[in-house]
């Protein structure tokens, strides 16, 4: 059983990797951080399809939060002023707005700073080693 939250992201996406590196540098993260390509997804109770689709925050009890709510939970867990921002992102209408912004960014991550054309490809079509099912 895991004792701390896990942040699962797309390690093949340069924008995602850059974003996680930024978070590690600027927030006091007290969680495990892993690209889904090198994670035992079954043990976390998530599917490859979901891991390809969005950032995931998995609590020690196994609750899975995805997308903008994963970001909100990460910020809440970071504490200090970040927790205030994370809390705001869990409340309507900011929750709805955050979801829309998250989907817009996620769907266009190949065009974002740090993104590459490979970020726009489905995981099975990206260059490099293929993760196992």
Q: Is the dihedral of CA 67, 22, 52, 4 positive or negative?
A: negative
- Span 113-131, pLDDT tens digits: 765 555 555 555 544 444 4
* pLDDT interval class at 34 (50, 70, 90): very high
pLDDT value, residue 95: 97
Angle between helices 80-88 and 68-78 (to 10 degrees): 150
Query: Tokens representing 125?
Result: 């079509």
Domain boundary assignment for the chain = 6-120
Q: Which residues contact 3 (CB under 8 A, 6 or more apart)?
A: 60
pLDDT value, residue 127: 47
**What value does the mean pLDDT take over residues 44-69?**
96
């Amino acid at each position: 059983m895991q004792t701390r939250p896990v942040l699962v992201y797309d390690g093949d996406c340069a924008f995602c990797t850059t974003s996680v590196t930024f978070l590690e540098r600027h927030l006091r993260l007290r969680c495990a951080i892993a690209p889904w390509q090198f994670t035992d997804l079954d043990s976390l109770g998530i599917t490859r399809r979901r891991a390809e689709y969005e950032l995931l925050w998995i609590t020690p009890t196994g609750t899975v939060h995805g997308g903008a709510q994963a970001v909100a939970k990460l910020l809440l867990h970071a504490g200090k002023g970040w927790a205030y921002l994370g809390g705001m992102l869990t409340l309507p209408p900011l929750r709805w707005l955050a979801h829309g912004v998250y989907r817009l960014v996620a769907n266009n991550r190949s065009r974002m700073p740090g993104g590459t054309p490979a970020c726009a490809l489905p995981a099975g079509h990206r260059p490099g080693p293929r993760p196992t099912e």
